[in-house]
Amino acid sequence: MFFASPAYAQAAGGGDLVSSLGGFVPILLIFAIMYVLMIRPQQKKVKEHRQMVEALRRGDQVVTQGGIIGKVTKVMDNGEVEVEIAKDVKIRVIQSTIAQVLNKTEPGA
């Protein structure tokens, strides 16, 4: 049988700080790429949606996440919106479930 001498085994096992940090560089690079390609655009999309929902006014034509198209008749303080989906048919919808604003009304003077 062949055994490595103790001196040879010690020389192979001792690494310096630069080689150990070199193992973290690919992990940091992967995280940076994921941030730029996935996390940042998602944060931007969430911010734009929040601004759209906060700007809802009476008369705006909206589409809910369920696909219901209607006109905003009342914006409530508790995070709800009253939407008219047909003549004299009104539903209450949570503001954050508004997916899109089709027609924006101009603010009154």
Q: Alpha-carbon distance 76 to 23, whole Å?
A: 54
Residue-wise pLDDT for 14-30, tens only, equals 556 667 777 788 889 99
pLDDT at 29: 92
End-to-end CA distance of the chain: 95
| pLDDT at position 105 over 90 | no
Backbone angles phi, psi at 44, to 5 degrees: -65, -40
What's the CATH superfamily of 15-103? Myosin S1 fragment, N-terminal (2.30.30.360)
d(CA 3, CA 38): 51
Share of the chain above pLDDT 90, in %: 63
Q: Which residue has the tokens 């809910």?
A: 64
> Residue 44: its pLDDT value, please?
95
Return d(Cα 109, Cα 105) in angstroms, integer: 12
Task: Write the pLDDT tens digit of every residue in 26-48.
Answer: 889 999 999 999 999 999 999 99
pTM over 0.85: no
